Amino acid sequence: MIITGKYPYLRMRRSRKEEWSRRLVRENTLSGSDFVLPIFLTDGINKKQEIKSMKGVYRYSVDNLSSIIDRAIKNKIPMLALFPNTNQKLKDNSGTEALNENNLVSKAIIKIKNKYKNKIGIMCDVALDPYTSHGHDGLIRKKVILNDETVEILTKQSLLQAQLGCDVIAPSDMMDGRIGEIRKILDKNGYVKTQILSYAVKYSSSFYGPFRDAVGSKKALKGNKKTYQMDYGNLNEALREVALDVKEGADMVMVKPGLPYIDVIREVKNCFKIPVLAFQVSGEYSLISNGIKNKIIKEEAIYETLLSFKRAGANAIISYYADYIHKIIR
């Protein structure tokens, strides 16, 4: 870094004196366009269920999505991310409901595209954990998560989502080789313009608990996901994961969780110059929200943490605060 100037002729506080001056030289800002809004789906008619471990976040029935999507469009949020809370009766060891063209995600894609056309993008999670009775992201045989056999199902799930109108396929399963196989099947069937957002860097984190409540997989989960999600002590491994997924055809990559891995976001951006998304996960949301509720921290902490992702190099942020971003920015 080149240091120019010398005290007392240079005084860094001059530009901090007034609010207008601070705005003038600000390096990073937030707008609605920086966010992806996660939406949880549930069965039923006219439902809006608050998730107990995520105050202010709800599950919506497919017929009741208009209010939250209308608000997202008004706030210029470019994309939604859909996550289903699948009925327990529909779950099995193989996650076959993932391939049902009438499952919650399928119905939501059709509903949103019919009403909103291309006013807002749709991102769909590709993984089996919302659909399996054991809560894992892949098939299991003798307590081992099967890689290649799982990838076969994930490619079919991806193609189904693309056929229904999904704009961005987002594999979050962390199986080896799945990006290349998904890209092949999409291209083979004419979906060359469908984007892939790879959860290339997904750590085996303790911050996912409230999300698993939201999709109904927490109680079902047997064991942990450490044999396929990343060891959170590793950074170089994250770069290798990104390199492989970019080579296989990923258009964008994800770092998840967000705040505990801000260094990883920076390294990925510096090394690959590819669009990078940060996922401010459910545990981060709940910790911050509970801290504000209990007056341990100020509400400005929301903006501060979100801005840290942009400063680190993230192009966009998946955050449950996206639904309130107009208030947060104001």
Q: Which residues pair with 256 in a beta bridge?
A: 202
Q: Quick one: the chain helix, strand, coil %, rounded to 5? A: 45, 20, 35
Report whether the peptide linkage leading into residue 257 is cis, meaning its omega lies within 30 degrees of zero. Answer: yes
CA 197 to CA 37: how far, in whole Å?
Answer: 15
Active site residue 256: yes
Give how far Cα 274 sits from Cα of 27, 64, 116, 124, 162, Å. 20, 36, 29, 20, 23
Residues 224, 100, 172: CA angle, nearest 5 degrees = 35
Which residue blocks in the chain are alpha helix, DSSP H?
Answer: 19-25, 66-74, 104-116, 147-164, 178-188, 209-215, 236-248, 262-272, 282-293, 300-312, 325-329
**Which tokens sit at 269?**
């951006």
The DSSP code for 11 is -
Dihedral sign from CA coordinates of 302, 305, 306, 307? positive
Residue 180: Cβ within 10 Å count:
18
**Which tokens sit at 301?**
């902490």
Active site residue 293: no
Which of 91, 107, 225, 256 is catalytic? The answer is: 256
CA 6 to CA 130: how far, in whole Å?
Answer: 59
Give how far Cα 312 sits from Cα of 32, 76, 167, 238, 317, Å. 18, 22, 26, 16, 11
Residues with a catalytic annotation lie at 202, 256
